[in-house]
Amino acid sequence: MERIWLSPPHMGPAERELLMEAFDSNWIAPLGPHVNGFEAEIAAYAGVDHAAALSSGTAALQLALLLLGVGPGDDVLTSSFTFAATANAVKYVGANPVFIDSDEYWNMDPQLLEDELASARAAGRRVGAVLAVDLYGQCPDYDALNQVCDRYDVPLVEDAAESLGSTSKGKKAGTLGCMGVYSFHGNKIITTSGGGMLISNRQDWIERARFLATQARDPAPHYQHSTVGYNFRLSNLLAAVGRGQLQVLDDRVAARQAIYDRYLAAFEGVDGLTMMPTPDWCKPNRWLSCFTVDEEQFGVDREVIRLRLEGQQIECRPLWKPMHQQPVFADCRSRVSGVSEGLFKVGLCLPSGSSLTEEQQQRIIGEVLAAR
């Protein structure tokens, strides 16, 4: 039986052509014209002035925090309901992640953020940054989050690793804080096999990011260093793939939206199955189509569905396990309402790749419904 993957890479002829062109030009690494081109094209797509192409989204998160001067002893308030990379980046700079729970749209709850900022201020803890995540391609209410952050004079970074191609109130995901981070990991809506991008309107930040990401070489003919640097740049070969992928990003979003719409139509009349709710301010890229299961109404729980799909060679995943429940972050502060813990118990991500055929999707839908 052919295995259906959750979110596999989806390549086209432009990617192959650009990759071969980069290969034949011998701009293999480090850097090269495709890196500059990819940065310029991502910046133009997002509508920001500057972008730095990096080896991963995680590296971009780490650099964003470093650029803001976040360091040991600082708190960074971040979404609990996310992939571990978000919280790991906070640890890499020596800061303390503080986990904020989700609201009814699954993203960071602005009220809980405000409560935690007030408590940090009262206790005299320095908050270096707020790092908000766009979960599964959907944006939280950035107007509300930015207002809270402004009141406490804390910079807001957007982890848009999952949301390239989404918009919120007409603005591109990634541009809703002072810096934004994209990921081109193999499971993302477009991929370079691995890679990331840091974007901002601040030229000094992005130039400093490029400097830090290339081993922090001072301007001198010999190797001279006054700062600890990192090896975080994207290779020219991978940037070439990224440029090809970016040409079809809007098609990829449309394909994933069609997949979401078919799941929605199939499950709408079914008691106990509810697709991830979409707030009216966000037009998501539908990176992953996810739903929750009410065992009493549907008849069986999420695990029964998950195991049935796995048995039928259909890859699916429970929603992210919240960071405040992860053993590695057990000693971190958190402000928890129970929302993400509840979602983790009952939620499932379904195959959502833009190359998924209608026939494959009908097979998935059939297996979900037959799990009862």
Ligand X SMILES: Cc1ncc(COP(=O)(O)O)c(C=O)c1O
Residues of this chain that bind ligand X (CB under 6 A): 56-58, 82-83, 85-86, 133, 159, 161-162, 183, 185, 196
The SS3 of residue 231 is strand
Question: CB of 11 within 8 A of CB of 18?
Answer: no
Closest residue to ligand X, Cβ-based?
57
Angstrom distance (rounded) from CA 311 to CA 222: 59
For residue 182, the minimal CB distance to ligand X (Å) is: 8
Our CB check for ligand X shows the closer of 19 and 87 to be 87
For residue 54, the minimal CB distance to ligand X (Å) is: 9
Our CB check for ligand X shows the closer of 81 and 263 to be 81
Angstrom distance (rounded) from CA 351 to CA 5: 6
Question: CB of 110 within 8 A of CB of 116?
Answer: no
Angstrom distance (rounded) from CA 310 to CA 301: 15
Angstrom distance (rounded) from CA 154 to CA 149: 5
Our CB check for ligand X shows the closer of 51 and 273 to be 51
Our CB check for ligand X shows the closer of 82 and 96 to be 82
Question: CB of 212 within 8 A of CB of 230?
Answer: yes
For residue 86, the minimal CB distance to ligand X (Å) is: 5
Question: CB of 365 within 8 A of CB of 273?
Answer: no
For residue 56, the minimal CB distance to ligand X (Å) is: 3
For residue 134, the minimal CB distance to ligand X (Å) is: 7
Angstrom distance (rounded) from CA 87 to CA 25: 39
Our CB check for ligand X shows the closer of 45 and 184 to be 184
